[in-house]
A and B are shown apart, each in its own frame.
Chain A
Amino acid sequence: MDDCHAPAGAATSTASDVKTHLVAIVGPPNAGKSTLFNRLTGLRQKVANFPGVTVEHRMGRVKLDLGREVFLVDLPGVYSLQPRTEDERVTHDVLTGEMKGLRKPDAVMLILDSTNLGRHLSLAPPILSLGLPTLIILNMADDLGRRGGEVNPEELSTQLSAPVALISASHGTGIEKVVEFLSEAVFHEKPKPPLVQLPIIYDVPKVRDWAADIGRRTNYRPPAPPLWTRRLDGVFLHPVLGPLIFFLVVLGVFQTIFAGARPLMDGLQAMIEGSGKWMQAALPDNQLRSLLIDGIWSGVGSVVVFLPQILLLFLFIGVLEDSGYLARAALIADRTMARIGLQGKSFIPLLSAYACAVPAIMATRTIENKRDRIATILIAPFMTCSARLPVYTLVIAAFMPDKSLLGPFLGTRAAALLGLYVLGFLAAVITARLLKSTVLKSTRSPFMLEMPPYRWPTFRSLGLRLLDRSKVFLRRAGTVILGVAVLLWVLSNLPLHDGKTPEIGDSFAGMIGHAVEPAIRPLGFNWKIGIGLITSLAAREVIVGTLGTIYAVEGTSESVGLREALHQDLTPGGAAALLVFFAFAMQCMSTMAVVRRETGGWRWPAIQFAYMTLFAYVFGYLANRIVTAWL
């Protein structure tokens, strides 16, 4: 590589401003990159996407003495620098200065797991041969010492002609050497070539032999096997106990995000409604107030109420991931998920989608395989999320007589609801199979899952993770969702009739409802349902309120008036079609906004919306025909 001539210091020599210094953190997965990054930057960090790629990276500032700052970029974990996967390409491109939108780093911090140095040291040759000033960080020093391992950082530094720091990122020991390196990053000269000949980078066995040789020269003693991890795996991966514990964990997660989040969400809902009412009283009665309160406040509010659920889920996932259990859960679920063409890591996100697709899609980040991740994102909204329940409850109660099917255990209504859950699940399975056998057919890349040793999760990293997720979610709520909320308000409150808000039937939404009536008639829907389909794009349960407005009755799913009005206005076939339509259609702007963010463009959310709507339309039509013919 021609790094000798690359303007490594060009940007800095022109700008005397030390603030522009950029240092990259590189390392294999599970080496503790994020822990170090969090420790150095704390809250001064943000998540960003490079243009055109879905790989996320984090940027942060480190405050040094004399008011100086260094920017850190945390790159995706890699085992080598051969650009094969998207993660590796991003890391490679950033380090060689080929990444658009980011200049070449001034220095590199290579973080390796000191308890597994033989293997991790294999990443040193490709990084060192970049010719950038490099600090080699040997992490997990505490673990190494406790398990009776030994490493000589000075000797390693001599052999590789690069500074070496032995640290424990989670405890903060040895971190001062890292800070020292960062403060001097400005003054670093091009490093001397290492004493030892670097191996040919692309020959894995040779690199591994080289690493073993360096280990011998520096008297590296690998630690004893992690005793506690072996003991815990004896339980968590026990043939009988393992699945049982797995099931309890799954049940715990499900119950918490479903039931546990309820009081918090209700509280938040009450706060949003209460403050809306307060504003209503405080402001003069005009169109602006309506836009502000009915449009923006309650529109954005209807999405923000999901925040407690999202945070609880991420707290769970954070604990599972940081402790090391998530890898075991993925192992246990893998066989089952493989049946539908996915893998073990898709399980928890899909489970979360029963609460809400938004956090579920955000949770797919733990899936490294790009195609599996996209497939999981695409099928997650088919899972019966909690926003569908008010719609289901209303329509079922309006059309299903409550009879007992299996004594006291199962009534007709519960059975219908259960059927809708099954329907969503089947749609997800069929779609996953379809995707994985066509567009997302894996290039047959084998499933490899590293089982990290069990560790205690730290409050610091859990807290930062929750903060990060809330920021991402609220930013969505503040941009895309705000825009859609305003648009929907305009549609249902304009044009004005004699300076007054129109009846909803005469509004733009009403016009659209009338306009789409011919298209939705085959499903047994009239223009009123058409309006509901449009307003429920904000969030599915909004249709209940809209129908309440249209029929001029109380707009809740328990409202007897609404049930009767709906029963009068809709045929049983149309009701069945409505249920099926809501089971399959996308009908959720928050999900679309999140899919766009997570897949790095509008392509996938557009495909997903079209596919799900078509699916919903076809099966809604069939449901209408079948029920109409049958009754």
Chain B
Amino acid sequence: MLQLVATGLLAATLLLVHNKAVLQMRVNKHPHHDNSGFRDLTMLRKGESAILDHIDLPEDDARRLMELGFLPGHLVTSAHAAPGGDPKVFRVDGSEIALRRETARHMFLKQAETQA
């Protein structure tokens, strides 16, 4: 009985924190246009693919991302996401990697028009 109450409490806390997180995120959802008009990874819609152009992160982080398959010139596809849309799963180089918005918004895509 008490365990059930405790579980319920835990769940309620989780939901509360979660909803708050989602709300907060909606407010913060302003696109990043500071990188000379490049779209970033967060703007990929589910199922959409694009070529990665560059990663605007410290070298160590960029290297790690590249080791996982986020290589400039390679195709990135947006797949599933956690509830609330963050983190998001991306398909790259034969595997699926989840990234948080805070990371994905520093990774920029080749513009479709330059590709054409």
A122 to B98, CA, bound (A): 21
A82 to B57, CA, bound (A): 18
Point out the residues of chain A lying under 8 angstroms from B94, CB to CB.
115-116, 118-119, 222
Point out the residues of chain A lying under 8 angstroms from B64, CB to CB.
79, 84, 445-446, 448
Query: Which residue of the partner chain, among A254, A335, A384, A447, contacts B99 with CB atoms under 8 Å?
Result: A447
B residues contacting the other copy or chain, number (CB 8 A): 48
The answer to whether B61 touches A446 (Cβ under 8 A) is yes
Point out the residues of chain B lying under 8 angstroms from A421, CB to CB.
6, 9
Segment of A37-45, A239-247, A314-322, A372-380 in the binding face: A239-247
Point out the residues of chain B lying under 8 angstroms from A334, CB to CB.
82, 86-87, 98, 100
A335 to B82, CA, bound (A): 8
A449 to B87, CA, bound (A): 10
The answer to whether A204 touches B2 (Cβ under 8 A) is no
The answer to whether A332 touches B83 (Cβ under 8 A) is yes
Point out the residues of chain A lying under 8 angstroms from B25, CB to CB.
335
CB distance from B85 to the nearest CB of A (A): 9
CB distance from A405 to the nearest CB of B (A): 13
List residues of B (66-80) whose CB comes within 8 Å of A's CBs.
66-69, 71-73, 79-80
Point out the residues of chain B lying under 8 angstroms from A447, CB to CB.
87, 98-100, 103
Tally the A-B contacts, defined by beta carbons under 8 Å.
138
The answer to whether B102 touches A451 (Cβ under 8 A) is no
The answer to whether A451 touches B82 (Cβ under 8 A) is no
**Band of interface residues on A:** 35 or more
A115 to B93, CA, bound (A): 11
The answer to whether A450 touches B97 (Cβ under 8 A) is yes
A611 within 8 A of B: no
Point out the residues of chain A lying under 8 angstroms from B2, CB to CB.
389, 414, 417
The answer to whether B9 touches A448 (Cβ under 8 A) is no
- Identify the closest chain B residue to A413 (Cβ): B2
The answer to whether B21 touches A418 (Cβ under 8 A) is no
Q: A339-B21, A445-B61 are in contact. Are A425 and B13 (CB under 8 A)?
A: yes
A351 to B67, CA, bound (A): 32
Q: A208-B71, A336-B18, A417-B2 are in contact. Are A448 and B89 (CB under 8 A)?
A: no
Q: List 15 A-B contacts (CB under 8 A).
A: A84-B64, A119-B68, A204-B67, A208-B93, A243-B83, A255-B3, A327-B98, A334-B86, A339-B17, A344-B87, A414-B2, A448-B103, A449-B87, A450-B98, A451-B96
4 A-B pairs besides A344-B87, A418-B5, A448-B97 with CB distance below 8 A are A331-B87, A332-B82, A351-B10, A414-B5
